[in-house]
Structure 1
Amino acid sequence: MKYIVVLGDGMADKPIEELGNKTPLEYADTPTMDRLSKVSEVGLVHTIPKGMKPGSDTANLSVLGYDPKKYYTGRSPLEALSIGVDMKTTDVALRCNIVTVSTDDLPYEEKTIIDHSASEISTEDAAILLEAVRKELETDTYKFYVGTSYRHLTIWDNGEVVDLTPPHDVLGQKIGQYLPKDEVLREMQKKSYDILANHPINIDRMKKGLNPANSLWFWGAGTRPCVTSFEEKNNKKGAMISAVDLLKGIAVGAGMKVIEVEGATGGLETNYEGKASAAVDVLLNEGYDLAYVHVEAPDEMGHQGSVERKVKAIENLDKRVIKVITEAMDKSGEDYRLLVMPDHPTPICVRTHTSDPVPYMLYDSTDLKDEKHDYNEKCGKESGLFMANGYEMMDYLLSK
């Protein structure tokens, strides 16, 4: 038996009036999921433990079978693992986004955060901007490391796990009350705007109609993680396929194989087929038991508040990932179980994560159901099937 998880990050949502009071998942043209849902188990699962913030970090730890209450030490340390930063036990890692704040003449504290991803800036451009910041702000205490796209890392020697607000929670708002309370972090954010606002890359971006990547934003502080090996825990060899450093970091910590796919960006125009093919290859040709295919696009489109683009991301997931994987697995004759689900909702109406339960679909090629339901939030609720602890889902998937 082979096992596949297709994780549509932030895919779940609330009914939207312009979609006829359907969610993007209900509204999207998803022939593969529609077909599979009729022979699958569909239900709801709660991935965010009570009292914890609804992040992709805690949620994906849950889906991978790790209780966040036990294993979570912060988001940034997981990303540090991904990019090869060997943290000391006294280090604190910080997520260091390059974001867009308003370009008006107001003081920094009165500016508004426009875009948490700076128009999904390329890693190449972001690296040049981060180098400009490094020359001015890096010290023996604060070190900067390049990640992917707008997502980067700061290591704070002998640091403190301070409370920081994610930038996607501040979209469209004045930033003053959300700036770090720590004086050094706050001043570095302010100085980063002075360094980046008129950088040649940003001048060029604005000429092209793109948002300038004109400020750092610190969040997600945490200490060095300690995650049990996935193989030791489950007696299964697992592989991670994602463009996002967070997911790669979780995989590194869990001793899973991390597969890099050319053209995988974490955005809407990612290499969907490449991810699907990598999953099939690692299962059928490399002897791995489980492939975890993470697609960031629905979450990014939710943060952008774009109904049309979120629907498109879900349709891409259906036709360019799930269809490719299932056709190849069916052709191979290998028995397999496929779990399709989001990690958390990212509703268009709030443009950030929520803690609501998410719908799951579990397909088993050896146990075809006879159902009438589709796969979406409404049908998941109507099924009456509910898993209260998301970290139990992996055991459930692997139970056969």
Structure 2
Amino acid sequence: MKYVIVHGDGLTGGPRKELGGKTLLEAAATPNMDALACQGEMGIAVVPADGPQLTSGMVQTAVLGYDPRKLYPGPAPLEAASLGVTVGEHDVVYRCSMVTLRGTAAGKDAYSDIKKLAAPVTVEGEAERLEREEARDLLEAVNEQLGSETIQFYPGSGSRHLMVWVGGKLRAVCLDPREGAGRPIGDCLPTGDGSDMLRKLMDASLVILRDHPVNDQRREDGRKPIHCLWLWGQGRASRWPSFAERHRVSGAIVATNDVRRGIGLCAGLEAIEPSDVMAADNSDFLSRGQVALRELGKKDFVYVHAEMPVGMARGDAKAAVKIVEDFDKQIVGTLLDGLAKLGPHRLLLVCDGGRVPNDGSRHPIYALCNGPLQKSKAGSRGFNETDAAAVKDGARDATKLSAKLFAQG
């Protein structure tokens, strides 16, 4: 028996005016996901989570059978696990984003002459069009001047990196820079226990980075400078019971996002190298399906994560529909075709809205089915938000879904 979980990160959402009031899942042609919905169990996956936001990392944690309220440590420790950064029991890991700030001047002058993290400066967001070598050069400059026995910076990917505070403080209130976009910086800086140290490091990074040669080159190229490091998303490393041992299976996670890979590693799964999986822009769905099938030739279980491109929810609706259709054909369809050749199998499909308010209005939806499926068999329902919500008694505790996946193996 082979077991698969497919996680569509960012596929669900609300009705779109340009789609005649339909959601992306309702507007897209998704015969493979619809077959799962028709021939298996479908419904709403209720994720137990604290805080104002429900993230896909929390969804993944729950779907693997863990309570996010107890074990989800925040994104930074999971990224550290993915990147192989050693974190002690009492150490605190922070996400270390490279951000662009904005002053009050017009045009390009708005990004120059920012001397301190105070009014009237506002947060614009995480750095755009940041090359890997640029990020490494900037982080090395920061580490040379701010690194110590208790503070160390580690390279990640894109604009997001890590800082480990040895024996550090955990309870500062830190804001995701995406939430701070357009707001006065004074409203966004860390507060609470440990915030003095965090602000000191962020202030110092501004002095180090603003006149760095990398930023000189970015200005010449017409790109916005990187003003400082932004510390947030903190947590301590946590020990998780092994998913593989609990279900007595060998397993792997196919993902490129460091948080998703970190969750898989914490659960005791093998994390497939990102270079084996995809194109750099998260668009290569087909390779994920193919790599998952390759791993299923050697293992009992694979978790496949695919993240929708940034901005899909607000971008061109027709292009977004095409992305959903590609997900259905290239990941779900590829897996169903390949699994049929491997023999008996069970597949759990979970789709969520990415990062959404944790107010009960945007639960993930799921379908669970034994295979092989009859893909040509038409049904009365599709895999979408409306049909999932209409299932009588269809709401399920997301932490119980993996147990249901393995229950009839």
Whole-angstrom CA distance in 2 between matches of 1:142 and 1:282: 38
Determine the structure 1 residue equivalent to 2:186.
176
Q: Does 1:73 align with 2:86?
A: no
- After TM superposition, the structure 1 stretch with the greater mean CA deviation from structure 2, 389-398 or 67-76, is 67-76
Cα deviation for residue 265 of structure 1 reads 6.5
> In structure 2, the residue corresponding to 1:3 is in which secondary structure?
strand
Q: Structure 1's 344 and 235: CA in aligned 2 closer, same or farther, altered over 3 A?
A: farther
Whole-angstrom CA distance in 1 between matches of 2:25 and 2:217: 37
Determine the structure 1 residue equivalent to 2:336.
326
Determine the structure 2 residue equivalent to 1:377.
385
Q: In the TM superposition, what whole-angstrom CA distance separates every residue of 1:223-281 from its partner, at most 9, and x where no partner exists?
A: 12110111121222221111111122222222211111327569644432222111101
Determine the structure 1 residue equivalent to 2:15.
15
- After TM superposition, the structure 1 stretch with the greater mean CA deviation from structure 2, 118-127 or 388-397, is 118-127
Q: Structure 1's 138 and 266: CA in aligned 2 closer, same or farther, altered over 3 A?
A: farther
Cα deviation for residue 20 of structure 1 reads 2.2
Q: In the TM superposition, what whole-angstrom CA distance separates every residue of 1:159-204 from its partner, at most 9, and x where no partner exists?
A: 1112212223223333321211212212322333343344444454
> In structure 2, the residue corresponding to 1:221 is in which secondary structure?
strand
Q: Structure 1's 380 and 235: CA in aligned 2 closer, same or farther, altered over 3 A?
A: same
Whole-angstrom CA distance in 1 between matches of 2:220 and 2:320: 27
- What residue identity is the alignment partner of 1:387? A
Equivalent residues of 2:43, 2:366 under 8 A apart: yes
- What residue identity is the alignment partner of 2:178? H
- After TM superposition, the structure 1 stretch with the greater mean CA deviation from structure 2, 149-158 or 64-73, is 64-73
Q: In the TM superposition, what whole-angstrom CA distance separates every residue of 1:136-162 from its partner, at most 9, and x where no partner exists?
A: 322222111112222211100111112
Q: Does 1:136 align with 2:145?
A: yes
Q: Structure 1's 16 and 263: CA in aligned 2 closer, same or farther, altered over 3 A?
A: farther
Q: Structure 1's 326 and 207: CA in aligned 2 closer, same or farther, altered over 3 A?
A: farther
Q: Does 1:2 align with 2:2?
A: yes
Q: Does 1:289 align with 2:295?
A: no
Whole-angstrom CA distance in 2 between matches of 1:266 and 1:301: 18
Q: Does 1:32 align with 2:44?
A: no
Equivalent residues of 1:344, 1:353 under 8 A apart: no
379, 382, 404: which is aligned to 1:396? 404
Whole-angstrom CA distance in 2 between matches of 1:208 and 1:314: 35
Whole-angstrom CA distance in 2 between matches of 1:209 and 1:336: 52
Whole-angstrom CA distance in 2 between matches of 1:16 and 1:142: 46
- What residue identity is the alignment partner of 1:363? C
Equivalent residues of 2:348, 2:366 under 8 A apart: yes
Equivalent residues of 1:81, 1:249 under 8 A apart: yes
Equivalent residues of 1:266, 1:297 under 8 A apart: no
> In structure 1, the residue corresponding to 2:187 is in which secondary structure?
helix
Q: Structure 1's 317 and 268: CA in aligned 2 closer, same or farther, altered over 3 A?
A: farther
Alignment of 1:206-225 (within 5 A): 211-225=224-238
Cα deviation for residue 307 of structure 1 reads 4.6
C-alpha RMSD of the superposition? 2.9
Determine the structure 1 residue equivalent to 2:364.
358
Whole-angstrom CA distance in 2 between matches of 1:174 and 1:385: 46
Report how many residues are paired.
390
TM-score, reference length from structure 2: 0.85
Q: In the TM superposition, what whole-angstrom CA distance separates every residue of 1:295-346 from its partner, at most 9, and x where no partner exists?
A: 1235x3358x43546545433322322222222222x142222222234544
**Contiguous gaps of at least 5 residues in structure 2:** 103-110
Equivalent residues of 1:335, 1:366 under 8 A apart: yes
Whole-angstrom CA distance in 2 between matches of 1:200 and 1:319: 45
Q: Structure 1's 43 and 344: CA in aligned 2 closer, same or farther, altered over 3 A?
A: same
Q: In the TM superposition, what whole-angstrom CA distance separates every residue of 1:369-392 from its partner, at most 9, and x where no partner exists?
A: 873111111111112343342111
- After TM superposition, the structure 1 stretch with the greater mean CA deviation from structure 2, 315-324 or 33-42, is 33-42
Whole-angstrom CA distance in 2 between matches of 1:226 and 1:238: 18
Whole-angstrom CA distance in 2 between matches of 1:249 and 1:59: 14
TM-score, reference length from structure 1: 0.86
Q: Structure 1's 278 and 174: CA in aligned 2 closer, same or farther, altered over 3 A?
A: same
Q: Structure 1's 26 and 228: CA in aligned 2 closer, same or farther, altered over 3 A?
A: same
**Contiguous gaps of at least 5 residues in structure 1:** none
> In structure 2, the residue corresponding to 1:76 is in which secondary structure?
helix
Equivalent residues of 2:277, 2:291 under 8 A apart: no
Determine the structure 2 residue equivalent to 1:159.
168
Equivalent residues of 2:48, 2:67 under 8 A apart: no
Determine the structure 2 residue equivalent to 1:316.
326
Cα deviation for residue 75 of structure 1 reads 2.6
> In structure 2, the residue corresponding to 1:85 is in which secondary structure?
coil
Q: Does 1:189 align with 2:189?
A: no
Whole-angstrom CA distance in 2 between matches of 1:11 and 1:114: 26
Q: Structure 1's 249 and 186: CA in aligned 2 closer, same or farther, altered over 3 A?
A: same
